[in-house]
Structure 1
């Protein structure tokens, strides 16, 4: 048994980010062709495209503002013209900002999180799900966070956006399930990335002490779960919020 995405096309938003690039590579290694979305880092997107082509898979880059329905529609039109249908959508893009307390957090940061968490999810659904319904197949995968279960100080804007995203994904799962479209979320913990390896910041004893597995997870471990949910091995899983956090957060029944 293996994860086989041969014949599938996957879109990863925010593909040039620390997690996005590993997800894209992993989906390609499983046999998928890739649509690599970026907002501003065209050079990294082009570099990633060549990496994926070197793996023997097709890849294209596309620029879009996921906070704009018009921009996402334009992205889909270009993908349809050049690649055809998208089978797997991974919503990974999110605005970056400086975290601080609610009293000090600029209100603009709450709007940016709403736009790139909630509205990105809505825009991607409105744009890509209708074609999935027509084909009776699709995978919608949102990248959430363990933070929505922690509610620690300074997390408010991020948690607000991701909790809103959670509601969209759970309801979408119920609305499109009859068409054999699965809708799930992966919730990373504080993950070791390429940047951590470069800066030698992989270890954080304070955080690790709270994790049952006593370590931080890796970007590859997050990407593995995304690939699983994208595959037919996960064909009867939908509406799930799956922490990949070494047990640091545990949804209760």
Structure 2
């Protein structure tokens, strides 16, 4: 049954990842989330044996292998992968170091490759899989000081669409969610002036809540979305219309 499927969510401790964990747990899925330095909210422990947390650094292949092995030992093979973990190291390109470029690409893009490479063989054998990559509207619009971040997120689109073509015949879908501004720890550090500027550019005149994004992700992994693959879905209040 769909509701008993095993879900693996990177960056599941806070924000979009935590909201997605909760909505899928409410629907009966078995959910494993990864964290690097912070555990998920305690309220998720109420789901008992259907929920687990595991430490994982998505920029490290050994860490990924260890995390996935732990999850599969408890829940069985991963059937749904949600690649949500990501970092930013914003600065103007003239000031951007090679390390700042490499670390963002390594985490946001190469991490997605490593995760997918690890879980894909079992999905192919089972002839079932759902993969969702969490990108950003910045991938299409660009952003000053975000050349590394925009490149990493834009790369996810080409990666997902190529993957979608390769595995569609095995009943595996690969899609991309592209959020705009979301009320998470990342935006909490912005000044009120910057938040007001961002909000004024959004047709819906508000920043998204994590639940706005998690609902879209939950749809893409559901049976109702079984015929949707290779899609880049903006969830941004209309911010990126025309891009």
TM-score by length of 2: 0.91
The alpha carbon displacement at 1:194 in A equals: 7.1
Unaligned residue ranges in structure 2 (runs of 5+): none
Q: Does the Cα contact within 8 Å between 1:64 and 1:72 map onto a contact in 2?
A: yes
Q: Does the Cα contact within 8 Å between 2:156 and 2:176 map onto a contact in 1?
A: no
Q: Distance in 1 between matches of 2:234 and 2:67?
A: 30
The alpha carbon displacement at 1:51 in A equals: 2.4
The alpha carbon displacement at 1:95 in A equals: 2.4
Distance 1:251 1:67, change over 3 A: farther
Give the secondary structure class of the aligned counterpart of 1:89. Answer: strand
Which of 195, 211, 215 aligns to 1:204? It is: 195
Residue aligning to 1:60: 52
Q: Distance in 2 between matches of 1:120 and 1:251?
A: 30
Q: Does the Cα contact within 8 Å between 2:11 and 2:84 map onto a contact in 1?
A: yes
Unaligned residue ranges in structure 1 (runs of 5+): none
Q: How many residues are treated as equivalent by the alignment?
A: 243
Query: Is the aligned partner of 1:17 residue 2:14?
Result: yes
Matches within 5 A, 1:182-193: 182-193=173-184
Give the secondary structure class of the aligned counterpart of 1:211. Answer: coil
Q: Distance in 1 between matches of 2:215 and 2:65?
A: 29
Query: Is the aligned partner of 1:117 residue 2:114?
Result: no
RMSD: 2.4
**4+ long deviations beyond 6 Å:** 194-197
Q: Distance in 1 between matches of 2:113 and 2:185?
A: 30
Give the secondary structure class of the aligned counterpart of 2:87. Answer: coil
Q: Distance in 2 between matches of 1:95 and 1:200?
A: 19
Q: Distance in 2 between matches of 1:80 and 1:56?
A: 17
Residue aligning to 1:70: 62
Q: Does the Cα contact within 8 Å between 1:52 and 1:58 map onto a contact in 2?
A: no
Q: Does the Cα contact within 8 Å between 1:117 and 1:164 map onto a contact in 2?
A: no
Residue aligning to 1:180: 171
Distance 1:64 1:159, change over 3 A: same
Query: Is the aligned partner of 1:106 residue 2:103?
Result: no
Q: Does the Cα contact within 8 Å between 2:7 and 2:82 map onto a contact in 1?
A: yes
Q: Distance in 2 between matches of 1:225 and 1:9?
A: 18
More displaced stretch, 229-238 vs 58-67: 58-67
Matches within 5 A, 1:129-148: 129-148=120-139
Structure number with higher helix proportion: 2
TM-score by length of 1: 0.88
Distance 1:180 1:24, change over 3 A: same
Give the secondary structure class of the aligned counterpart of 2:156. Answer: helix
